[in-house]
Amino acid sequence: MRRSGSILSGAAARRLPERVPDGSIRRAENQSRTGEAVADVKRVVVLVSGHGSNLQALLDAAAEPASGMAVVLVVADRPGAHGLERARRARVDTAVVRPADHPDRRSFDLALRDLVAAARPDVVCLAGFMRILGPEFVRAFPGRILNTHPSLLPAFRGAHAVREALAYGVKVTGCTVHLVDEEVDHGPVVFQEAVEVRPDDDRDALEERIHEVEHRLLPAAVRALGEGRVVVEGRTVRVLQEAPR
Ligand code: GRF
């Protein structure tokens, strides 16, 4: 098996079967835009675990003319993540790093860190990535990792935010896009927007309305961070209209 985190040459990658070994990059075919070719385009690496609707929002935003950003790599922690398929369709390189292929959490973190670092990201975006990232990963990209969370943090941290908001009976929940620090769902808030909880809501209905908001806020935050318009003072974030000169 290929060493975790290794990167294949273009020619070798073209010979790859559908399933590639853990940590290897599957090069997208007929790449139209990788960020290499266009000056000043901000390079975005996206980490996913599942459906990837937020990834799709980022891919769509990046495909807009003059978006100024390109998703250069999508990494999943499991080969079945639908987000990988979305990336392939958008001709973006993909990779899978599975915790099960590593002896402990630290070595998983290091493999992921090295893979992501090799893509030289301006922004690392967690878009439904259901793993807690350790300090080795977080410290490698200081102030450059964004996460989207389906609640108004600090309420309902963790993996079941929508279910817990419904169970608690809150009338308002929402979405938070925040910078990632070494605590879970904790870093400085970049954008936050409320979503009303309706009396007849079930999890799917509420989640869908939260997603609509996330799909707008996450690309805006990625773009602002990439363009240097996110100013952090302690826990307070200001998003500038224009990058400081
Ligand atoms: C989003 O609601 C995000 O807030 C949470 O996981 C969900 C991922 O959805 N962290 P998708 O995979 O982007 O559709």
Which ligand 1 atom is the nearest neighbour of the CA of 50? 12
Query: Which residue is closest in CA terms to ligand 1's atom 14?
Result: 53
- How far, in Å, is the centroid of ligand 1 from the Cα of 211? 7
Give the model confidence (pLDDT) of 131-166 as tens digits. Answer: 999 999 999 999 999 999 999 999 999 999 999 999
Peptide bond between residue 99 and the one before it cis (omega within 30 degrees of 0): no
Q: Give rounded-to-5 percent helix, strand, coil for the chain.
A: 30, 20, 45
Using alpha carbons, select from 36, 14, 38 the residue that is nearest to residue 26: 14
Give the model confidence (pLDDT) of 50-103 as tens digits. Answer: 999 999 999 999 999 999 999 999 999 999 999 999 999 999 999 999 999 999
Regarding predicted confidence, which is higher, 154 or 25? 154
Q: What is the pLDDT of residue 20?
A: 54
Residues with CB under 6 A from ligand 1: 50-54, 127-128, 148-150, 211, 214
- How far, in Å, is the centroid of ligand 1 from the Cα of 148? 7
Whole-prediction pTM? 0.89
Instruction: Output b/e per residue, 128-164; b: 16+ Cβ within 10 A.
Output: bbebebbebbbebbeebbbbbbbbbbebbbeeebbeb
* pLDDT bucket at 31, cuts 50 / 70 / 90: low
What percentage of the chain carries pLDDT values higher than 70? 87
Q: Which two tokens stand for residue 57?
A: 């929002």
Which ligand 1 atom is the nearest neighbour of the CA of 126? 10
**Rounded to whole angstroms, how far apart are CA atoms 133 and 118?**
18
